[in-house]
Amino acid sequence: MAQSDELEALTKAFSGHGVDERTLITVLGKSHPEKRKSFRKATPHFFKEDERSFERWDDHRIKLLKQEFMRFKNAVVLWAMHPWERDARLMKESLTEGPDSYNVLIEVACTRSSEELLGARRAYHSLFDHSIEEEVASHVHDPERKLLVALVSAYRYEGSNLKEDIAKSEAKILLNAIKSSEKKTQDEEVIRILATRSKPHLKAVYKDYQEISGSTLDEDLKCDLRLQETVQCLCTPERYFSQVLDLALRTDSDKSTKKALTRVIVTRADVDVKEIDEEFNKLYGVPLSKKIEDTANGNYKDFLLTLIAKGD
């Protein structure tokens, strides 16, 4: 391999999501000091010239690379967990990281079955000696608290029976609340409908709302992120997860956004990853597996692709 090719391979191995361990072993592991010096000098986004005339790692880059080396391990550990424990730990991490991560609470509360959510709540008791409801109530502050407490406390009916007249009535209630209220996340009727109704019922409400208003419910909630995420997770989860994955796969994504790639693939691999793959392709014109193939590296990439293949 020519030196220019080796430099390109090493740069790619350290870039993206995860690291390409095989390239690091075959190219970097066998390199001599001068070749490593050439690599350092040719990659100023990794290394910078010290005032004492040597190239040293950029401290921020070291921190980022440590995170990338951890991605494969984290994915395997999450995959091996009981789903109840996994969801409980995801919710705990969401609360620890603060408001920017509260979407994970909504994901768990709204995309799991009633029994799965109940199991996660039981696991939370065992792991952290508190209820998730108690933790959300004490960590989250208005205007989101009422909504999030109600969502994590839910135990929804999961049968197919629904009453069309009630769905139409509640679509009108939501429309009136959205058009007239500045504090929709605290509206008792909005919270009641979204936190207690079955998913088939809410999908009927979603359809009726569009017929009444001419726009979709989540479109009208674009200025109210938590309610928008709630509606998407309940009514259009494949679209929601596709959008989350698209953001996570961008090379300029921050640490928190990138973490969603592991979370979504691991938690949906046994559920609806095939449908998410199809929706992703529809939205972005490329299969999810191809996007990961082009973006991720090493064992991390191989593991994610293996999980996606489970849906085939």
Q: What is the percent of the chain where pLDDT is above 70?
A: 97
Q: What is the pTM of this model?
A: 0.92
Q: Which amino acid is at 90?
A: L
138-193 pLDDT, tens digit each: 999 878 999 999 999 999 999 999 999 999 999 999 999 988 866 676 789 999 99
Q: Are strands 47-49 and 55-57 parallel, antiparallel or unpaired?
A: antiparallel
Q: Is 245 found in the same domain as 211?
A: no
CATH number, position 294: 1.10.220.10
Q: Look up residue 52 and give its two tokens.
A: 């004492």
* Contact between 123 and 82 (Cβ < 8 Å): yes
Residue 24, pLDDT > 60, answer yes
Question: Residue 145: which domain range?
Answer: 82-155
Is position 248 within any domain? yes
Counting the structural domains of the chain, the total is 4
Tell me whether residue 146 is in a domain. Answer: yes
Q: Please tell me whether residues 150 and 166 are part of one structural domain.
A: no
Q: What is the C-alpha end-to-end distance of the chain, expressed in Å? A: 37
- Between CA 190 and CA 174 the distance in angstroms is 6
Same domain, 221 and 244: no
Based on the fold, state whether residues 135 and 172 are members of the same structural domain: no
Q: Flag whether 305 is in a domain.
A: yes
Quick check: is 75 in a domain? no
Residue 62: inside a domain: no
Over residues 64-101, the pLDDT tens digits come to 899 999 999 999 999 999 999 999 999 999 999 999 99
